Amino acid sequence: MPELPEVEVLVRHLGPELRGRCIQAVEVLAPRTVRPDSPETLRSRLHQAVFGPITRRAKFLCFQLTRPTGEPLQLVGHLGMTGRMFLLPGDRPLPKHTVVAFDLGSDRFVFEDTRRFGRLTLDTSVLDGLGPEPLSEDFQLETFRKALRARSQPIKVALLDQSLVVGVGNIYANEALYHAGIHPRRRCHSIRQDEARDLHSAIRRVLSEAIERGERLSLDFRAGTGGLFYYGTSSETAGDPDAERFAVYGREGEPCLKCGSPIRRLVQVQRSTFFCQKCQR
């Protein structure tokens, strides 16, 4: 379900629900998800721990907890491609692809992940080496420009590299390049100053607009209906007339919103790239 905006919206929803709640038990149904921790370690370390604030770093969720001893703990989660997290009333059965569940007494906090590319661990080393947060002051235009000058790979590929800037995934990389008018195959070092400036601001714009949109949806993540729905590609519930969510992503063959020429698709590092040949140079 992830890319930065979806994770951010989830974090904002989960924070108020989880804060202050105490973990009675931890069920690890997919040991792989908690690697390199063992299920036993996770169970014992988190037993009777209380949730504090939840924050986001890149596409990771960072859960601050306090143990009964007063010792602080940080649990780090990643949704992979298909992860969802939500609260489920205690009397309801766990969904088929639950990988970890926290017993909170009346409810369970559930991590469901069909493809199991996600993570949930006490090992915070995954946060090392990440680039700047695109929506913070750390994402400086000058630094971004210099980083592009130092690379030779195609710009679309660079945007997916979490050491250049974090949080951008396949959807928003395509969208940002479209809005900046830059062809996805352009090599980084060929990006001009004005183009770098446009791309820098397009990245910020597509991400913050997606967050606003996710907030507007007032998603019912308290399960019942299955939790927080990814609002990136799934067909949405009625009532939201905002049909053109994406300008290019998933729109192969459909007309460009600016010039009408058909959106094209190509493959870069085994991922689909969508773009307008006429508007992106």
Partner DNA sequence: CACCATGTTCCTTG
Partner DNA sequence: CCAAGGAACATGGT
Site for DNA, rule CB under 7 A: 1-3, 6, 32, 58-59, 78, 80-82, 96-97, 114-117, 126, 151-153, 157, 160, 162, 169-171, 230, 232-234, 269-272
Task: Select 58 or 202, whichever has its Cβ closest to DNA.
Answer: 58
Task: Show the DSSP H helices in the chain as ranges.
Answer: 4-18, 39-46, 141-149, 155-159, 170-180, 193-216
**Closer CB to DNA, 23 or 228, in the complex:** 228
Query: Closest separation between CB of residue 114 and DNA, Å?
Result: 5
The alpha carbon dihedral of 121, 122, 128, 131 has a sign of: positive
Active-site amino acid positions? 2-3, 59, 271
Between CA 33 and CA 266 the distance in angstroms is 32
**Smallest distance from the beta carbon of 227 to DNA, in angstroms?**
12
Residue 4 or 279 having the CB closest to DNA: 4
Give the nearer residue to DNA in terms of CB position, either 140 or 272. Answer: 272
193-216 vs 141-149: helix crossing angle, rounded to 10 = 120
The distance from CA 242 to its chain's CA centroid, rounded to whole angstroms, is 21
Cα(first)–Cα(last) distance of the chain, in Å? 30
CB atoms within 10 A of CB 63: 24
Cβ-contact 248, 174 below 8 angstroms: yes
Question: Residue 164 and residue 251: Cα distance in Å, rounded?
Answer: 27
Nearer to DNA, 18 or 232 (CB): 232
